[in-house]
Amino acid sequence: MLEFNRTLTLFTTSLHALSLHCDVAYSSQVRMCSCRLTIIEVLSFLKPLEEEGVTQVHHSKSPTVAIFPNGSGIVHLLPLRALYPRACTHLQPTIMAAEVVSGLSECRLLAGINVGMKLFALIFTSLAVPLGLGRFMSVQSCLSVALVIWCTLCGVVYWRRLPQLPVNRISAFMETGDERDNVIAHRGGAADAPENTLEAFEVAKKNGAFAVEVDIGITKDGIAVLLHDWSVDRTTDGAGMLSNLTYGEVRQLNAAAKFTNGSPITTANIPTLDECVEKCKDLDLKIFFDVKDSSHQAVTILIELFERYPHLMDSSIVCSFRPDLIYKLRLRNPQILTALTMGSRHFQHQVDQWQIELGSWAYSLAYIVDELMIWSMYNWLWYLCGNSAVLLSKDAISGSVIDYWKDRDIIVVAWTVNKQEEKRYFQDFHQLNIITDTLVHGSGE
């Protein structure tokens, strides 16, 4: 019990120290830095604040702000003292200091660094007692060590960052010539034809797509083919993991065997990556390569592909949930257009696809990794990788999110948008390119 009390005391004292010692600069506007930040709930005082539903942002010289949702999943950073001056008198010792400084275009990482530094310092200091550091270090010492570690990490990101390509490169790639044709066929249009097939590309072109999104997998003998899942079970008449099948075995499978949406296409092969590129060139379709494998083999396959087909520099973009894949790819060829893909449950879905018995700990860990990855992608991974675009789940997009990325010269693409009213919303209201399973007007989900 004594150890628990010491930990709690150190925790609350750390919060107090953070709120008092972290001097910050404020501009007249406080912006949202992410649509998904981990909500900091210090004791229970944030609950009544959340229920207030305050959305008006006030200017304040105080460095103290509260982090809480406004009911729509968007996190606001609001100066707490300006909103609740009386409450601050009693709650000051348990307030987490955080802030977003806007209007500083020359220091785009400042927002992420400020919030991240204090979260890191909070965690480090709170764990000092359980780790035995409390016997040798004061709270101030813990904060100082945390600050040094954080600054070192930020320095590594700064010195190892890859330069972002000129914005005209991604703008030219996204140019369709017609505001109503900014549609990318997801897996070639998975609801209109057998996904990731050459036949699907023909249907997508006929229905008005300017680009196709395709998934890259690698066979046992190192041949890159188009397949979304790790296994061939869902879409073909075969079974087994792709990595356990040779290209010869994969070629015998029917990629249209389980497509049941009334298409006249009854047979189709799983195409190779080269066949995909050549077909899209013939159809004048641009390509979004979705790569889930971040291995050296996958990076090499992509590098060699761009060397064989130089036109891909202007007619394709490599997208991935895996920032390590993007970084390794641009490290070898920084002229390749790249995009980070963000989804709220990516690693949790991956756990499901592994098809092995895992304990609940695996899903809990996947949830934590998902949340950390989203925060990192918004605050520093885009900077490290030098991305030109982000592919965001439609549910994570708002006007503020679009402005956030626009300020960083990054194009937003919405996925997967299937309902007709959602298509009109993202295309007409936000002027975004959208990724969809169907290009047939009037389709629902």
- Quickly list DSSP for 282-307: HHT-EEEEEE---SHHHHHHHHHHHH
For the stretch 1-38, pLDDT in tens is: 444 444 444 444 444 334 333 322 222 223 333 222 22
Q: Is the pLDDT of residue 136 over 50?
A: yes
Q: Are strands 75-79 and 286-291 parallel, antiparallel or unpaired?
A: unpaired
Residue with tokens 């000051």: 92
CA–CA dist 306, 281 (Å, integer): 13
Average pLDDT over residues 308-315: 97
Specify whether the backbone of 194 is left (phi greater than 0), alpha (psi in -120 to 50) or beta.
beta
For the stretch 323-375, pLDDT in tens is: 999 999 999 999 999 999 987 676 677 666 665 556 666 767 777 778 888 88
For the stretch 388-407, pLDDT in tens is: 999 999 988 988 899 999 99
Q: Is the pLDDT of residue 72 over 90?
A: no
pLDDT at residue 52 in the model: 42
Where is average pLDDT lowest: 116-120, 293-297, 336-340?
Answer: 116-120
Confidence class of residue 104 from pLDDT cuts 50, 70 and 90? very low
| pTM of the full structure | 0.72
Where is average pLDDT lowest: 119-123, 251-255, 276-280?
Answer: 119-123
CA–CA dist 45, 47 (Å, integer): 5
pLDDT at residue 440 in the model: 86
Count the helices and strands in the chain (H runs, E runs). Answer: 18, 11
| Between 36 and 159, the higher pLDDT residue | 159
CA–CA dist 336, 438 (Å, integer): 28
Query: Secondary structure of the chain: what % helix, strand, coil (to 5)?
Result: 45, 15, 40
Residue with tokens 């010195």: 159
Chain-wide mean pLDDT for the chain? 74
Give CA angle at 400 (375, 324), nearest 5°. 30
| Between 324 and 114, the higher pLDDT residue | 324
First to last CA, the chain: 54
Q: Is the pLDDT of residue 190 over 50?
A: yes
> Residue 75: enclosing H or E segment and its boundaries?
strand 75-79
